[in-house]
Each structure stands twice: as C-alpha cells, then as structure tokens.
Amino acid sequence: MCQTPSVNIRERTWTARIIARERDRIMDIWQGTVRERVPGLRALSKPLLHDHLPQSLIALAEWMDTDEANPRFALLSEEHGIQRLSHGILLREIASEYRVLREIILGVVAEHDEEAPASSRAARAKELARLNSGLDYAVTRAIETYADIREDAVKMLQERLQLAIDAAGVGTWDFDPITRVFAWDNRCRALFGLPSGGETVTYAEFLDAIHPDDRAHVDAEVSQVLLPGGPRSYRGEYRVLSRPAAPGADGRRADGERISSSSIEEHWVLSEGRILFDHQGHAIRFIGTAVDVSAAHRVLAVEQGAREQADAAHATLHALFMGAPVAIAVTRGPKHRFELANAYYMRMVGKRSVVGQDVADALPEVVAQGFPRLLDQVYETGVPYYGIETPVELRHEVDGGRLHTALLNFAYEPIRDPDGRVTGVFTLAFDVSENVRARKIIEDAKQLAEENAARESAARQEAEDAARRSAFLVSAVEHISHRLHVETILQEVTSLIVPEIADMATARIVGPKGELRLVSAAVPPTVESEMRDQFAVFEAPSGSSNPFHEALTTDVRIIDDFPDWITKQVASPEYVAFMRGLGVTQIILVPMKTHDTTVGLLTVGLVGKERTFDPAHTQILRTLGKHAALAIENARLYEEAQELRRRAEEASVAKDQFIATVSHELRTPLNAILGWAQIIKANPGAAPMLQKGMDTIERNARAQSQLIEDLLDISRIVVGKLRIEPSSVFIPRVIESALDSARPAAEAKKIELVTDVDPDVGHIIADPDRLQQVVWNLISNSVKFTPPGGKVSVSAHRKASQFEFSVCDNGKGIAPDFLPYVFEKFHQVEQGTRKTGGLGLGLAIVRNIVELHGGTVSAESEGLGKGACFTVRIPIRAALRPHTRTPHPPNAPEDAAGEGGGDADLQLPARILDGVRLLIVDDEPDARELLTAILGDAGAIVRIAASVDEAVTLLDAEVPDALVSDIGMPGKDGHSLARHLRALPREQGGRIPAVALTAHARSEDRTRALTAGFTTHIPKPVDPTELIVVLANALGRDVQDLPGSNA
C-alpha cells in the first residue's frame, strides 16, 4: 500500500464533494455493473474487485480540488494495474472497468445537478473536464504500469525459455515442405549422429536415420500433417540409429554423454512441431523441436516392471486384506456405498453381502443406532472418528435374523482424491467383546481382591482402633477410678478427652435440686471464664428448658451442625452468639448415668471440619460416661463415708458433752433438794421457810423427773420401742393445756402469747399424751429462747387431709449452719454457756413422735436474732366433727386429751363394716387372728392370707372391697403386693383401697408405702378403732351417716 503524500487542497469544488460523499454508493453501483459487462472480473471477490478504487475516488476528489499533481492518486492507479496483472486480467478488461466507472460517476454527479450552486457554466465545465482528465490519467497510469511489467515479463520469459531449452537438451529443426530439406541446430544434429555445423539434411537422409521398424509410420504421420487442411501440429516418437559423432578430447559427445567410436546407438526421439500454411492452405513451413527421450523409455520399462510387481503386490495385499484379522470396508459417495468389505467384516455383520449397497440398505439396523450419521460427519468434514468399545446391534440372518450385540473398537478415516477432496470412508473395526468380557472378569477379580484387601485392611484398622480405644478406656478408667473427689474425676475426664478425641470438652454435675453446675472445662483459658458466666446465667437453674438439661434424659447423641442446632434450640441471642463464637461445628452430648440415675453431662465438641465424630466415638464416650458416673458415685460414697465418720466423731464428742450435761442437770436439782432438806432439818419450826423449801424440792424433783423421762424416751427411740396409743384427741384442748403450762414462764418474761386456732380443727386420731408432749415442748422452747418482751404465736388449722400446728417467735433464731441439725439428738445451740439448760433432747423427741404419727416437723429461721418457726403436720385420718363426740357423764374428769378423754369419746355402730369383703395379709398367725376378730366384729367378711403369693391367688379368685396388709413379710413384702395390685385393671381390683400395717412409723416408711400403691399407712400396734374408722372412710362410709350411729 502506498504512503499518502501531502497535498495542498484549496476549497473543495462541488463535483469533488459529490464524489467524496457518494463514494460508497458509486462503488456499489459499479460493482454490479462491472460484473455484468466484464466477464474476467466476475471471479474476483468483493475486496479483490474493489482493490484500491475506493481510495482512488477520494484521491480523485482531492486531485480535482488542486491544480497540482496528486502523487497519491498516481500511486493508487499504478498499484491497481499491478493487482489486475497479478490476477490475469487483460488490458482491455482494465480499460472496460474504468469506462464503467466513468459512466457511473458522471451519472451520480448528474443526479445532484439541482443541488449545484448557482455558478457559471464555465466553472461546471471546468470541474467535469478536470474529472475526465483525472479518470484518463488513472486508466493511463494503470495500463502503462501493466504494459511495462508485462513487457519485462515477456523478455524474462524468453530468457528463461532459452535457459530451459539449453538445460533440457532440446534441439530445434526447420523443414521446408517444398524443398523437403531440414535445417537442424547442433543439438538436433547430435541426436541423429551428425557433426556440428554441417549442411542441411534431406528428408531421405532423415528417414534413413530412423529405425526400420518406425520409418513407415513416421513417414505416414509427416505426410499426413503436410496435407492441405491437415492438423496444424505434430507429435511423434521414434527410434533413431546413428553413429556417434567424433568424440572430443575428453571422450564425450557434444551433448556431454560419453560414447564409443565403434558403437551404433539406438535411442528414442520425441519430435513436436507446428505447420505454417499459406492463404491457400498449403504447408509452407514445418518447425519444431526434438529431444532424446530414451531415458523416459527406460523409465517406462522400469515402470512396467514396477507395475507388474505392483500388480503382484496388489494381489498379495488383496489376499491379506480379505484375510485380515480385523474388519475392513471401503464406502464411497455421500450415501456410503460399499466398495470393498473383507471376510472378517462379512462375518461381523452376519455373513451378509454388502458390496455394491448403501450402508442404510445393507445394514438397516444400524441406522437408528446413529452410525450412518457418523459416516456423514466424516465424509462432510474430513475429520476421522474413533469409537472405543462401542456397542452395536447387528442382525445375523444365519441365526434367524436375531440381533446380536457386539462391542467394537473402530475407526472411520476419510479417503481423499489427489485434489484433497473426500470421496469415501475407510472403515477399520475389531470386535472386542471377548476382550471386554475377559477384562471384566479380570477387573472383577482384581476388584474382589482389592475389596478383600480393603476389608482386611479395614478389619485390621478396626482392630487397631478397637485396641487403641480399649487402651484409652483402660487408661482412662484407671485414672479416674483412683480419684476420690468429683471435681478431680471430671477434670481428669475432660483432660483425657482433649485432644485424644475432641477439641473441647465440658463436664456438668446435676445438683440435689436438679440444677446443673459446670465442674470442668477443657477449653482455651480465654474462653473458660466467660463460659462459666454464661453457664451460670442460662444453664444452671433446674427449671431451664435448654438442650443441655433435656440431654440428661436421653441417650448419647451426636449433633452434626452445632451452630444451626444451638440457634434453633436456644432463645437467648447472647448465649447463642457466645456458643457459636467457640467455633464448634459438631458435638456429642453424653449423659453420665449410673443405674437409673443421671449424675451429670459431658459435652464434647470438634472445632472446624478437619475431624468428625463417628459411632466409635459415641461408644467410647458412652463407656467413659458410665465409668465416670461410677467413679462419681464411688467418690460420693467415699465422701459420705467420710461424712459419716465425721458425724460419728461428732456424736462421740456430743455423747461426752451429753454425759457432762446429764451430770450437770441431775446435780442441779439434787443440790437444791439436799440444800433445802438440810435447812428444813435444821429449822423444823420455821413454817414459811418450810413451805418455800417444799415448793423448791417439788419443782426440782419434777424437773429431774422430766429429765429422766426424756432420757427414757430417747432410749425407747434408739431401740425402736417408743409406742403411741392413738385415740380421739380434741386439738383445741391440747393447745390450751400446753399454753396454760407455759403461760407462767411467759408472763415472768413479759412475753406475749398469741393464738390462732381454727374452731373447726376438731378431733384427730393420735396419742393424746405424746401429742400433748409435742405441743408443750415446742411452745416452751419458744418461750425459753424468746427474750423478755418478745412474742410467741401459736396456730392450728386443718389443711386438706392434714392437721397443721405452728409455733413462731421473734426470739434469738437459729444459725443457718445449725438449722439442719436442730432435730438431732444431743445438739444444742449453746454448748458451752448453758444459759438455758436442758439436755438438747426435746426437739429430737418431737420429731420421732410426729413421725410415728405419720407426720412431719420442720424448722425455719432467717438467722440469729430473727426468730424461728416450727411447723407440725399430721395426717387427720378419720377426723370426727365436734358433734360426733359422746357426751361425758356428769362430773367426769376432763383432761388435755379431749373433752371425753381417749377412746371413750368415739362410739361406733356395732357393724360399721357390715357386708364389706376384706382381704387380710400377715405372716404372723396371732396378728391374723386379731385382725380377723376386730374387723369381723365390725361386720366385715374377712379372708386371710399368710403370704403375698397366697394373697395374689385369692385376688384372682375374688375381688375384695379393700385390702389390709402387713409390710414386713419374708420373701415378697407388702410393697410388692401393692405394686401388683395397682398393675391390675379396675375390674380386677386395681383401684380398691389398700391399708398398710407396719411397725416402722417414720415419715420415709409412710412415703414408701404410699409410693408403692397403698391408700394409707397405720403404724403398729394397731388401734382397733383407728383401723375401723380408716377403712370406713376409705370405703365412703361416714360414721354419723351409718345405721346405729350415736350422732
């Protein structure tokens, strides 16, 4: 492409502006027109057709706007001529294309005449003249450049032709048909064995030099071409016999070939020529060339031998082709007609004849399988296609036309002609079905071997893992089994878990009220403090509904997505944020259980996703949790043993202190008694002193009697011989009597006594003396420990099925550390000062008496100086309304036990249990006879059993209305009988009343009996009236409503 020289352009003319603006349109019109008018340009593409003409139009417009020559316009025109020459375009075709261009430009300019400025005709004519001049200049530059280059090319071609003739050893000749004489150049003379530079050769001499076998046909051919109207060209080959020309000094001929002076040469000559005729059609000149083609004939001979060899090789190749151990076929054309197919291919397709048929016709079953489409693809694109172990279904006519599936490795290769065009497809295929099956067998065997090896390796790994887990567990159990404190055990457990099993671990203990307490945490130190704070707020309370409390009631559990799980389980955003901030991704919750009791919870977690928990971890942690629970239980047993030892030591100290106290308490009244006795003895006549002395002696003697009675009661409690004698007790009278006894001491200390006794509290079944002892003891204690001017409040109420009696004061109170021991024997608040006196037995006796009644007693105090409150709760059992009491005989004494005093108050109908079917169970014959007599007299129908098994048999035979059973029996006890009874359906007695009789009267004995399924609990010795009333009430027989009632 030429460079653009600078051109001094003046103001653009109107015609130049039209040409520049309409350039693309001019080229489009020119392109269509020139293709129609100039055939030589039709084959050129649009870019080649346009060449430099679009740029030439811009240069033409510039040329029109200046008076100077435009070098760029000239260069573009010259390059256009060169481009046309290179594509073989003729000069007249170049002139034609410029002529068409001129016409179109002038036409386009004429279309815009109305837009032309109002200028003189002379200016417009000058512009058009300049336009035509420019187009003339352009075509001139293009044609001159074309002609110059072509002339140079012709000269160069002639020179190259001469060089080629010389190099090829070609001789020239010129024959005159009229004189029949040849003019040969030196090379031609040498071919016929004539010396260089000689005279002309006659036609006869020419024929004599030709081999005899070739003279006739050469003469006939020459004569033929010389006839008027004959062919204008001649070509012939013949053999020449000649003696070699005299050799040169180097022994070679003039053409350079070494010769022998005595030999006659035979060689082949190729002559070619053209005949020139006059206007009448007569030959006037015959010119041409001659060249020695002996070497070519020798080559032909060699080629003939090679052809024969090739034919033999082809036959061999065909035999190999047909017998090849692979399937080979050749198809031709777009429809893939079979040209060749070897024997293997024929067998593969079911011994069908396919040659000469299209693939779709010869093998119709492969059409739907897509193989013709693959052949189309190779034929159309020329890209080979290779198939590996491709399944194909082929129909075997010899097998009834059934389809057989084969696995093929095959190749489709394009077949090309010498011009590179695809004319067919070469198919090479091999049936690898057996190979694949064999390989499959080998692979299956290999896979089986690998699987066996993998299983063996897995089993070995599992065994190693199991051994490692076992060693870990043995080591862990050994570590924790030697620890005697719960905190130490759990710290050991978490330190064993991290990092052997997990990245973090915490251990929580269940407290006595169900609360959770974090004991150990194997976590980073920076996290542990905050974890404990969060735990204390969120998890610790026993009522918390969080997943860690809930985990106490489940088995070991894996939480795979801990962040998501904790978000869904917990309502506290702060706690969730903290837990997610730990980075824990997976946790295992492990309840630490021993028997049926859960003592704590292990939380084991992994950080990140490098490791995951599996069932083996679950089993390890479950086992570790069980052993940890056993270790905790052992540690607690050890701590309890230590506590029992401490208590025993304290009891020993208390015993010594008690002995010293007893000595002191006995000596004190004796001292007063002996002292006054001596005074009275020394002054027998002093009446006032005698009276005071006798009062003192009596008071101290009673105090000493009370001390002795308390000691006896404690002795009875210790050996289990403290008995109660229940009867109907009128509660208001008991309280009033105790208040009367305590009032003098209270008045002496100016203590206010306040009472709140429910008038409907009425009667209860209790031991009147022992109940009096309990009430008096609690009131006197409050008076004793309340400072002067204080206040003591006494209340009694009926609450549901219980009688509740409370004594509260604002006295010195009870220290929190002593409150748990306030009802223990031999314990006093003031051991060393002895400000209040007494043996410290009263409250212990109170507790035992209350428990023998099946009740409870409790003490409350907010601390020293804040007073105390004692509350007694006793089951009412058969409570009688006040009007059910029998009136006293006239002048009958009344005591604190009630208005009628004891059992005389309760007069029951003679047969209150008339018709009631009772089952009595007791292993003691005397007890069975007694109960039968008591309940039989009351009208009951009694059946007896000496054991639980016998009772079960009787229950199966007949359902009673109620059951009365002893607890302590050999073999199965009464508790097991109650559980069996409650397991029965209602219609088989599962809901009948059941009364427990036992010599054990503690509150825990009563609770155990009720838990087992008994309706109520009566301590032995059994009061007949109490037993009858309890059964009557349990069966819904109200005493005052029964026949014979004295109400």
Of the candidates 615, 592, 617, the one whose C-alpha atom is nearest the C-alpha of residue 501 is 617
Write the DSSP assignment of 600-668 as a string of letters. Answer: EEEEEEEESSS----HHHHHHHHHHHHHHHHHHHHHHHHHHHHHHHHHHHHHHHHHHHHHHHHHHHHHH
Amino acid at 264: I
Query: What's the rounded Cα separation, in Å, for the pair 989 and 956?
Result: 9
Q: How far apart are CA 87 and CA 71, in angstroms?
A: 25
Any residues with CB less than 8 A from the CB of 743 and at least 6 apart, and which?
753
Evaluated on CA atoms 774, 778, 784, 788, the torsion sign reads negative
Q: How would you label 85-107 residue by residue, b for 16+ Cβ within 10 Å and e otherwise?
A: beeebeeebbebbbebbbebbee
State the Cα–Cα distance between residues 742 and 780, nearest whole angstrom: 6
Give the span between the Cα atoms of 154 and 142, in whole angstroms. 18
Amino acid, single-letter form, for residue 175:
F
Task: Please tell me the total number of residues recorded for the chain in this structure.
Answer: 1047
Q: Which of 352, 454, 450 minimizes the C-alpha distance to 401? A: 352
Measure Cα distances from 411 to 84, 336, 387, 431, 887 in Å: 47, 15, 6, 12, 128
Most distant CA pair in the chain: distance in Å? 221
Tokens 């029109």, residue located: 64
- According to the model, what pLDDT value does residue 165 have? 62
What is the pTM (predicted TM-score) of this model? 0.34
First to last CA, the chain: 144
- State the 10-residue block means of pLDDT for the chain, 1047 residues long: 45 81 88 86 85 83 74 80 78 83 85 72 74 79 73 60 62 87 86 79 89 91 84 87 58 49 75 82 85 80 75 74 84 92 87 89 90 93 92 81 86 91 91 86 87 87 79 78 82 84 85 78 72 64 59 81 80 76 85 84 86 84 86 84 81 66 61 64 66 68 67 68 78 88 87 88 83 89 91 88 90 88 70 48 86 89 92 70 33 37 49 91 84 88 94 94 90 91 92 85 74 85 80 75 41
Cβ(783)–Cβ(790) below 8 Å: no
Phi then psi dihedrals of residue 493, to 5 deg: -65, -50
Q: Where are the alpha helices (DSSP H) in 112-202?
A: 121-168, 186-191
Domains of the chain: 14-164 (1.10.490), 169-292 (3.30.450.20), 327-431 (3.30.450.20), 464-645 (3.30.450.40), 725-884 (3.30.565.10), 908-1041 (3.40.50.2300)
- How would you class 669 by CB atoms within 10 Å of its CB: exposed for 0-12, middle for 13-18, buried for 19 or more? buried
What is residue 904's predicted lDDT score, i.e. its pLDDT? 38
**Would you list the DSSP string of 496-545?**
HHHHHT-SEEEEEEE-TTS-EEEEEEES-HHHHHHHHHHHHHHT-STT--
